[in-house]
């Protein structure tokens, strides 16, 4: 008889992953480390894409309203849809790593201020990596 739990007895955090996950103090991990890695990767990609499109949108608005040049309305539309995808990935990551609602909202709002999504992506990625040993 072994002391190791059967797959049915193992925690959800251990299922689907060969690596043990460590939870933040006082928080229960409800998903496997592989799912956290996937959510983090998706969030990081969308944070960068959102940041670049936001910079394009700001440049477009400056050209249009500051210099009277014709703008490209597709930039605003594209940024809007990309921002929605960013929100989904940020909330998904926040739920998987058990962020507070306030932290999740602040992370979501980082996609609305030029350059802030790049900084938040770096901070949140380092935080998740150090907390979960990724």
Render 66-93 in DSSP notation, one character per residue: IH-----HHHHHHHHHHHHHHHHHHHHH
pTM value is 0.74
Nearest to 81 by CA among 59, 105, 43, 49: 49
Please report the pLDDT score of residue 86 as a whole number.
95
Please report the pLDDT score of residue 71 as a whole number.
81
Per-residue pLDDT tens listing for the chain (134 residues) = 445 444 444 444 444 444 444 555 545 566 789 999 999 999 999 999 999 999 999 999 999 999 888 888 899 999 999 999 999 999 999 999 999 999 999 999 998 999 998 999 999 999 999 998 88
- Sequence spans of domains, the chain: 40-132
Please check whether residue 57 is in contact with residue 75, taking contact to mean a CB–CB distance below 8 angstroms.
Answer: yes
């Amino acid at each position: 008889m072994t002391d190791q739990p059967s797959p049915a007895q193992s925690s959800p955090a251990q299922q689907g992953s060969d690596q043990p996950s460590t939870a933040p103090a006082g928080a229960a991990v409800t998903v496997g480390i592989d799912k956290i890695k996937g959510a983090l990767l998706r969030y990081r990609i969308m944070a960068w894409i959102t940041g670049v499109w936001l910079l394009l949108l700001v440049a477009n608005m400056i050209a249009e309203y500051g210099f009277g040049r014709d703008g490209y309305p597709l930039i605003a539309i594209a940024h809007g849809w990309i921002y929605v995808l960013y929100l989904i990935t940020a909330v998904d990551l926040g739920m998987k790593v058990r962020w507070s609602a306030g932290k999740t909202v602040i992370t979501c709002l980082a996609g609305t201020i030029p350059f802030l999504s790049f900084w938040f992506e770096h901070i949140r990625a380092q935080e998740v990596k150090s907390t979960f040993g990724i």
